Amino acid sequence: MFGLCFFIEQFSLGKIYFIHKGDHVMMKKVMAAMVVGAVLLGAGGGAAPKAEAAVLVGGVSDKKGVKTFKTDVSLEVLYDGRRIQFDVKPKIIDGSVLVPIRFVAEKMGGKLEVKLKDITITKNDKVIKLTMESKNASFNGKSVTLAQPAIVDRGRTLVPLRAISEGLGVNVEWDHPNQYVWIGSKDVPKIEDVIKPVDAKPYLKYYPKDSSIFTIFSPDPELNGKKKTTIRVARESDFPLLIGNGIIVYRIDKSVGTDKKDYIRFSSNSKGTMGNALFLMNSDSSPRLQSPYTKESVLNSVTLEYFPVDYYADKDTTWLKDIEYIGISLTSESLIAVKSDWR
């Protein structure tokens, strides 16, 4: 069998490793909850149902209070550090990622030819031949067996991405904690290159008055100490972004703790001991600066922080749908906020 699966062995075995306060904690097998409907075989041993998201479980089992968090994390394909928008979402079937074939032609430099069920993709001297709904393929005249065949979904032809990328010589990397498929360069763009700054005045009502977040901290003496007058407002779909001094924010997602309350799963490469801080803001109440409830380093490459949305002193529960903006407290010449897509 031609080994064209994205899942790293330890994840396919249903294990996930966290590092918390210097101790290694291995959670029990949680594959059923971690990738519901994505990669498991059915009871009868047939093909797994298609899925566009995985349910990832995080947290530390030895911490008092909330034990774990469940997060619906969408599968995303990134090309040179930017998310690709598809009219038909990629699929995961038995651990293989399938993407619309037009993506191959447009982003991976392949020339596409389709005749009935036969698909030919060429790039320079490389030739890939596939047949719809067949695992038999040819790479430069050599017969191979694919983990998954090309399929049709909602009128679009989907092909196994790993097979195509390897056949065309394009680098592909699977990022399990973020459910990212990285293609090509992993250089993440700076927020300044993606999000234009706008006047901060309409947004000042969301922030606490006289907060240090309005002060610019910069090695440039002409900027250091001045007040921020602009804001960059991102959407969840804009991530990953490089913000401040080398901090990559990979993604922000809604999570649910074992206390049934909402949390924000904040994924970054931050390794600081203090953790990050988020402002939770809406028009009906004062903004709140929240610290993470818990923080884990996953495989020494990604740091996951879970921020509580509810405030313990309130009589009424605050949900993520009540939050209009999530302010990120990282070094920048502008205020940084993420418009809530969960309202």
What share of the chain has pLDDT > 70, as a percent? Answer: 84
Q: How far apart are the first and last CA of the chain?
A: 45
Q: E strand or H helix at 107, and its extent? A: helix 101-107
pLDDT score for 61: 64
pLDDT score for 242: 96
CA dist list (Å): 31 to 27, 34, 41, 264:
11, 5, 11, 22
**pTM confidence score:** 0.80
Least confident of 30-44, 46-60, 82-96, 208-222: 30-44
The predicted model gives 301-328 an average pLDDT of: 92
Least confident of 17-31, 42-56, 277-291: 17-31
Query: In this model, does residue 336 exceed pLDDT 80?
Result: yes
**In terms of pLDDT, which residue wins out, 35 or 75?**
75
Average pLDDT, whole number, for the chain? 81
Hey, where are the domains in the chain? 191-339
Q: E strand or H helix at 194, and its extent? A: helix 191-194
Question: Could you tell me the pLDDT band of residue 17, with boundaries at 50, 70 and 90?
Answer: very low
The predicted model gives 20-31 an average pLDDT of: 32
The predicted model gives 86-91 an average pLDDT of: 86
From the list 87, 1, 218, the residue with the least C-alpha distance to 101 is 87
Query: In this model, does residue 48 exceed pLDDT 80?
Result: no
The predicted model gives 24-29 an average pLDDT of: 33
Question: Could you tell me the pLDDT band of residue 52, with boundaries at 50, 70 and 90?
Answer: low
The predicted model gives 31-56 an average pLDDT of: 40
Query: In this model, does residue 264 exceed pLDDT 50?
Result: yes
Question: Could you tell me the pLDDT band of residue 47, with boundaries at 50, 70 and 90?
Answer: very low
CB-based burial of residue 272 (10 Å sphere; 0-12 exposed, 13-18 middle, 19+ buried)?
exposed
pLDDT score for 249: 97
Question: Could you tell me the pLDDT band of residue 10, with boundaries at 50, 70 and 90?
Answer: very low
